[in-house]
Structure 1
Amino acid sequence: MQFLFVRLLFAILLVVESFSIGCAQTPLAAFTDTLHKYETPPGHQLSKAWYQRNLVRASAVPLVLIGCGVAALHSHTSVSNEAMRAEVRENLPGFRTHIDDYLQYAPYLELGAATLLGIDSRNDRTNTLLVIAKAQLLMCAAVTTVKYSTRVWRPDGSAQNSFPSGHTAQAFLAASIVHAELRHRSQWYGIGAYTVAASVGALRMLNNKHWESDVLAGAGFGILSAHVAYLSHRNRWGRKPSRNDNLYLAPTWQPGGGAGLSMSWQPR
């Protein structure tokens, strides 16, 4: 199993490093009311080398992962799909579990738990939910399109929709959201989320449901969807959010209509 864990660990480190580099030049104060994650802070030099530009920073790591997945398709080298499958079958024959069906959403539970514990995320909750919804739509559209365009057989021969792994894409998308929202508190939130996501990819291969190429590409599609969602978001389409959750209850009365109660909610 050495190939599997070394590669997944390498993928985690690449992703965490890309986020760390991407946010190192962007102070938290610059984003108190927007989701312009890759926006150039006021006063910074606008002229950048091509490799420092927003789109390059957002897409470099996920495109590398997708490229590695494509390169591994139908390969018969010592580090190919077939070699990985043979190693899995030799070490863990008959392995079966359904935990990966649930574990793919675990990073969102981490984000929810942090919210309940009063740990502020990088962006307000309404905009975070909008970004999640947009990222999920992008990921589902991309993964579904590629699955039914490439028509790759699963390792167990159960279906012809193996490439890329939807479970892995979902897990890495959620992990990317967690890291983006909580990295200003600690990088360990992201490291934990990406470790869970990598575990989902490993379990998909151990369950004989996906090839290594599917998992690598799935991770890339998930991360890329999250990055594009942040990069294209424009703060509730131009509306400046409130920084406080406010619930207002007030009595009402109308002549001839009787008394009542009105309620209004201003989300944070």
Structure 2
Amino acid sequence: MRSLIINRLAALALLLGSLNPALAQVKPAADTTKKYENPGGIPAAVKAPWYRSKLVKAVAIPAVLITYGAITAQGDAGINRRGREFAQKQFRPVSTGFDNTLIIVPYFELAAVALAGVESRDDRINTLLIIAKGEAIMLASTFAIKYISNETRPNGSDNLSFPSGHTAQAFLAASIVHTEFRDKSQWYGIGAYTIATSVAALRMINDKHWQSDVVAGAGFGILSAHLAYLSHRNRWGRKPIGRDVGMAPAYFGNGTPGMTISWRPSH
């Protein structure tokens, strides 16, 4: 009886020894609960940090200009007084009619370059819509701040000094020129911003604005252009609406100047 029990225990030990390797090779079942979450194996898009978003890039520079203008808006004091004294000492006043004309010269540059055949970022209809939207944003924001701030002009003519509407208008137009043609050449934008800066300088030379007014005005103009582009939806895609129509100056047989219109149908 004793030997029978020993033999059975030995047989059981051999059986367990033979099963252990097989049990060691058994692998747990794979987790298939997330099988269809990304069937193509495409890596998930990495979200850019907030400081690299389009909105932050659009408002960063204008925010700095507007903030600087607001901080230094102290009337005839501090850097405003020094800036006015420098302008009066170095320059003579210029006709304000020149200021009123120069603010829209960047738009003439935009039209001239487009009519010369340089392809802009947007077609002509959408460019006009962006201009209209930018003008509305600029006028609403600058005049609202003018009445709220109640800043007296250097020459004392009224209390609508801050910010400079002329400077805002010029920098709005310059920003649109830069955006439309920067892929073709940076010189179009440089020329437009040079004109806008000249407007800001003339407003100080003519004793119409403080330095803080023109710096903030530049910020409001650039911001208005950026917001117009960010909020715009090109309803006609990238179709060349208006790009197949060209205009050029011409002189007829009797020496009379005129304008020729050409049309190149798209295929």
TM-score computed with the length of structure 1 as normaliser: 0.71
1: CA distance, partners of 2:194 / 2:237: 34
Query: Superposition pairs for residues 85-234 of structure 1, below 5 Å?
Result: 85-92=84-91, 94-98=92-96, 99-234=98-233
Aligned residues: 202
Output the amino acid matched with 1:178: V
1:152 is matched by which residue type in structure 2?
Answer: E
Q: CA deviation at 1:44?
A: 11
Whole-angstrom CA distance in 2 between matches of 1:191 and 1:45: 36
Aligned to 1:60: 60
Q: Secondary structure at the match of 1:235?
A: coil
Residue aligned with 1:152, SS: coil
Partner residue in 2 for 1:243: 240
Against the structure 1 CA distance between its residues 50 and 154, is the aligned structure 2 distance closer, same or farther, given a 3 Å change threshold?
A: same
Shift of 1:50: 1.9
Distance 1:44 1:55 in 2: 23
Tell me, in whole angstroms, the C-alpha distance in 1 between the residues paired with 2:202 and 2:147: 23
The higher radius of gyration belongs to 2
Q: Secondary structure at the match of 2:60?
A: helix
Kept after mapping to 1: 8 A contact 2:176/2:225: yes
**Structure 2 length-normalised TM:** 0.71
CA contact (8 A) 2:168 2:219 kept: yes
Q: How big is each residue's C-alpha offset from its partner over 1:14-65, in whole Å with a ceiling of 9 and x where there is no partner? A: xxxxxxxxxxxxxxxxxxxxxxxxxxxxx99551122111110000000100
CA distance in 2 between partners of 1:194 and 1:44 (Å): 41
Among all aligned residue pairs of Structure 1 and Structure 2, give the percentage whose two residues are the same amino acid: 51
Query: 3-state DSSP class of the match of 1:121?
Result: coil
Q: Deviations over 1:154-203 (max 9, x none)?
A: 00000110000000000000000000000011001001100100000000
Distance 2:86 2:183 in 1: 39
Any conservation in 1 of the 2:124–2:241 contact (CA below 8 Å)?
Answer: no
Q: Cα offset for 1:241?
A: 5.3
What is the CA RMSD across the aligned residues, in angstroms? 2.1
Where does residue 28 of structure 1 map in the other structure?
Answer: none
- The equivalent of 1:29 in structure 2 is none
1:242: how far off?
Answer: 2.7
Amino acid at match of 2:232: H
Q: List per-residue Cα deviations over 1:58-77 (Å, max 9, x = no partner).
A: 00000100011011111743
Structure 1 residues 232 and 102: CA distance shift in structure 2, 3 A: same
Query: Which letter maps to 2:185?
Result: S
Q: 1:126 to 1:244 in 2, by over 3 A?
A: closer
How far did residue 91 of structure 1 move?
Answer: 2.2
Structure 1 residue 96, shift from structure 2 partner:
2.7
Q: What CA distance in whole angstroms lies between the structure 2 residues aligned with 1:97 and 1:46? A: 55
- Is the Cα–Cα contact under 8 Å of residues 122 and 238 in structure 2 kept in the other structure? no
Aligned to 2:47: 47
Cα separation, 2, equivalents of 1:142 and 1:212: 19
- In structure 2, the CA distance between the partners of 1:162 and 1:44, relative to structure 1 (3 Å rule), is farther
Segments of 5+ residues of structure 1 without an aligned counterpart are 1-42, 248-265
